[in-house]
Structure 1
């Protein structure tokens, strides 16, 4: 059994984005809904992939989310600006495992471990990570 990565330490992240908490993100109890937290994680994943050359209209490949494990640690309230840290935990042949966390200041709100698979745009089947994408993602690899 391998050790779980520590996703709660802001110092472990090299890639960051910010999301403004919207009133529409709130649930009936007045805190940010779990679905909105998932959208924040998606924004982080997409931004990292874009920075590494992904999601280009001319690309013969795309990225799909194959697995997502989110752990909720604390409430996030409106108004706020959430910071989302994203790092690469593992690079596979056709997949990448990302670790992410949503922070309110230095307090962790939620963590996510996500497996993303590179797929051929025409066949929708897994395909090896393109060399340029692998190189870009390698810059964000933080060993577990």
Structure 2
């Protein structure tokens, strides 16, 4: 995997920033955060962003919203993470398609980007319809500030 574009390594490129606590159980035998911990921290940030976007309410799909699944989730591990220092996860929306959208995230510790995560979410139901216009408007308001073409 190639190194992420420089804009991906700055928290200022993302509209949302969350602080997450690391846990002792997140460590591997080498004494740094394991890959499962990275994935879980990114997942928690994604779910909270879905709440903010109105798709999830109290851990369940919000009434009247569409069904969607994670179709692809790619984590680029850039550096070791440690415990007990918190991490910051910056998050925003990348590409928006007719029936899918991309959440782009980066994890920071001590001001350094230690991982990026690109998640493609695809609408599965209702079939044959596009993402709702009002939802697309909310997605547009959460766009990353980087160069999505390069």
TM-score by length of 2: 0.83
Ranges in structure 2 where 5+ consecutive residues have no aligned partner: none
Q: How many Å separate the matches in 1 of 2:128 and 2:115?
A: 29
Change (3 A) 1:82 1:127: farther
1:26 has 2:31 as partner:
no
Number of residue pairs matched by the alignment: 138
Ranges in structure 1 where 5+ consecutive residues have no aligned partner: none
Q: How many Å separate the matches in 2 of 1:60 and 1:12?
A: 28
TM-score by length of 1: 0.86
Q: Is the 8 A contact 1:72 1:109 kept in 2?
A: yes
Select which of 94, 112, 119 maps to 1:114.
119
Alignment of 1:1-144 (within 5 A): 5=5, 6-55=7-56, 56-120=61-125, 127-142=129-144, 143-144=147-148
Which digits, 9 at most, give the CA deviation of each residue in 1:49-92, with x for residues without a partner? Answer: 11011124423423311111111111111101111111111110
Structure 1 consecutive aligned stretches of length 4 or more whose deviation exceeds 3 Å: none
Which digits, 9 at most, give the CA deviation of each residue in 1:18-64, with x for residues without a partner? Answer: 21001111111111110110111111211111101112442342331
Q: Could you say what the CA RMSD is over the residues aligned between the two structures, in angstroms?
A: 1.8
CA displacement at 1:16 relative to structure 2: 1.3
